[in-house]
Amino acid sequence: MLIQGASGGVGTWAVQIAKQLGAVVTAVCSTAKAEQARSLGADQVIDYTRETLATAEARFDVILAVNGYHPIRVYRRLLTPSGRYVSIGGSGAQMFQGVLLGPLLSRRGGKTLHSHLAQPKREDLETIAAWIEAGRVRPAIDRVVDGLGAAPGALRYLGGGHAKGKVVVRVKPSA
């Protein structure tokens, strides 16, 4: 399984959940985030600052593009003959490609390409909660800021696309 955007707030969970489900995970992230991806369970790391997926030789059964920035044709080429590509984030262009081009490209051959919106299910959330309680998965927290007044800055930081996981806004309970 390839996870594009493996070091962000969603990608860090995706790596860990994929490992819990038995996947061999290749994480795509920057040099600065490679060690974090490995510590969360990634078997291999592709450093996008040094190599490009556009010329990669590896093939994957599943590609999860949390923050996909390559054209959908690049991801399609990286799939095994019966592989599945799922886009759950990225720019408007990537979402457009996943929603509109994905189904059209899926008609050619056994590959499936599409975009997905989360639809949480109680049993899935209970499973993840049990994994957290057992220490099998953990939130990757980039930083903690204090007070709601710090929230706008925290959101700007997240919007910059370089957070190494989640940003927590600590709100002190009122007396």
Domain borders along the chain are: 2-115, 140-175
Higher pLDDT among residues 132 and 165, named by residue: 132
What is the band of 94 on the pLDDT scale with cuts at 50, 70, 90? low
Percent of the chain with pLDDT over 90: 58
Residue 173 pLDDT exceeds 80: no
DSSP 144: E
Give the per-residue SS3 of 2-57: EEECCCCCCHHHHHHHHHHCCCCCEEEECHHHHHHHHHCCCCEEEECCCCCHHHCC
For tokens 């989640």, the residue is: 166
Contact (CB, 8 A) for 98 and 124: no
Helix (H, G, I), strand (E, B) or coil at 87: strand
Q: Which two tokens stand for residue 151?
A: 């929230």
What is the band of 135 on the pLDDT scale with cuts at 50, 70, 90? very high
| φ, ψ dihedrals at 97, nearest 5° | -60, -40
What is the band of 91 on the pLDDT scale with cuts at 50, 70, 90? low
Contact (CB, 8 A) for 12 and 165: yes
Residue 113 pLDDT exceeds 90: no
Superfamily per CATH, domain 2-115: NAD(P)-binding Rossmann-like Domain (3.40.50.720)
45 by Cβ neighbours in 10 Å (0-12 / 13-18 / 19+) ranks as buried
Q: What is the pLDDT of residues 33-82, one digit of tens each?
A: 999 999 999 999 999 999 988 888 999 999 999 876 788 889 889 999 99
